[in-house]
Chains A and B, each alone.
Chain A
Amino acid sequence: MTSHPVGSTGEGVFTALTAEHRGKLMALAREVSLPGGARIFEEGERADRFWVIRSGTVALDVHMPGRGRVVIETIGAGSLLGWSWLCPPRQWHLAAETRDPVRAWEFDAAAVHDLCAEDTALGLSLVTVVAEIIGDRLRATRTRLLDLYGPPGSGPVP
């Protein structure tokens, strides 16, 4: 029986990988701890790392003139932080800040790219995992566009 959160050891995001692939990937992981309020990356910077959150919460934000930093979404334990490292232009599209103390597994994107080039089956599996996460977030964003909890008549006009 599986007890949640499945990512309690940091590998939960990668449960769809084989044990061998997961082991190779986790060998590249570095455990990091960040205090609350730490800026992890900024919009436009090079996306050269990614993280799997083990505990704590990270807020993704975007700066809007006149409104300051607007939080788009929060990411909690057992989730992947960052996918811009995967595809060109490999720049962060949002910024990230810890909401509270965060423990995470940190991965060097270049090392992961090299591993994927060396083991293409692992690469395909990893891309599939990340694509699934991106799909989840796209569906969640579309759901929020519907403004489901808003007053009658709110949300997109058909």
Chain B
Amino acid sequence: MTLTPLSYRVVDRRDETHDTVTLVLEPAADALKPFAPGQFAMLYAFGVGEIPVSVSRLGDGRRLTHTVRAVGAVSRALCGLRIGGWVGVRGPFGTAWDTAAAHGNDLLVIAGGIGIAPLRPLVDAVLAEAKAFGRLNVLAGARTPADLLYGDEFPAWGKPFGAVTVDRPSGGWTGRVGVVTTLLREARFTPSGTVAFVCGPEVMMRATARALIHQGVRPDRIRVSLERNMRCATGHCGHCQLGPLLLCRDGPVVGYDQAEPLLTVREL
């Protein structure tokens, strides 16, 4: 099942930004097993190729929602799909954001750029059982206001604290300007009782993890989602190897205590 793509049809699509699209997929026949927040699928654009894409919303267990940014041939082909178009899907793959282990803790959900997409199902899951957690802080960084994903949903997420900051404000932007770590000063959390979920470019995740550790959050309580060149997605081909980890199988979500020594090794 994990090696052969199943056929899914695009039943909805939404243009999120100038280069990012959210696709809702429905199986033609059999559906893949349910995904967990943080896991990814291999999406196959017929005749072009296959790429890993995290689920960006969990639906009814049959439908899949993926947010794709057009950065290469395959992602451009996926972004070009219209309603009724077909895509091959394998999955679910990889490790998930472990919400059960975070019960009773304050939460920091910190996203950079399209990194907010894999975190959205986590926010949905937390909001669905909000009483099981402490305070939920959602912090997001984007390049410009126009690049912010899910802007219409964001205001309902952070309880008590949610904020967006951009690197490049455009005319009329009255929100925050600067890197996402600057928002940490205003977030409401008790460092020793906090679990952080971080997703974005690797440099952003390293800077965020350093800031969190400096504030007293334990490295093993900082969960990051790593990205490497995933091909087989079943832990066999080795393309996504990061030291002792095969990220398609042992990741993408790992603890920073495990990730930190690996991320500072060049060309690993």
Residues of A within 8 A of B (CB): 1-5, 7, 12, 57, 59, 70-79, 99, 139-140, 143-144, 146-152
Contact = CB atoms under 8 A, between A and B. Distances in A.
Contacts of A146: 203
B99 interface: no
Given A4-B215, A71-B169, 17 more contacts: A3-B190, A59-B177, A71-B173, A74-B165, A74-B176, A74-B177, A143-B179, A143-B203, A144-B167, A144-B178, A146-B203, A147-B167, A148-B112, A149-B112, A149-B141, A149-B200, A151-B19
Given A4-B187, A148-B112, A151-B19, A76 B176 contact: yes
Contacts of A75: 182
B41 interface: no
Contact of B186 (A77, A140, A151): A77
B188 interface: yes
A149 B143 contact: yes
B207 A143 contact: yes
B193 A1 contact: yes
Interface of B: 19, 71-72, 112-114, 141-143, 147, 165, 167, 169, 173-179, 181-193, 200-201, 203-204, 207, 215-216
B188 A140 contact: no
Nearest to A79: B185
A144 B72 CA distance: 23
B175 to A, nearest CB: 8
A139 B142 contact: no
A2 B113 contact: no
B185 A4 contact: yes
B177 A78 contact: no
A70, A144, A152 pick with most chain B CB within 10 angstroms: A144
Nearest to B182: A140
Contact of B185 (A3, A76, A144): A76
Contact of B183 (A1, A3, A76, A99): A76
B186 A78 contact: yes
A3 B188 contact: yes
B188 A78 contact: no
Interface of A: prevailing SS:
loop
Contacts of A148: 112-113, 200-201, 203-204
A12, A72, A149, A151 pick with most chain B CB within 10 angstroms: A149
Given A2-B216, A74-B165, A99 B204 contact: no
A7 B183 CA distance: 13
A140 B189 contact: no
B179 A140 contact: yes
29 contacts: A1-B192, A2-B191, A3-B188, A3-B190, A4-B184, A4-B187, A4-B191, A5-B186, A5-B187, A74-B178, A74-B182, A76-B176, A76-B182, A77-B185, A78-B186, A79-B185, A140-B178, A140-B182, A143-B204, A143-B207, A144-B179, A147-B143, A147-B167, A148-B112, A148-B203, A149-B147, A149-B167, A149-B201, A152-B72
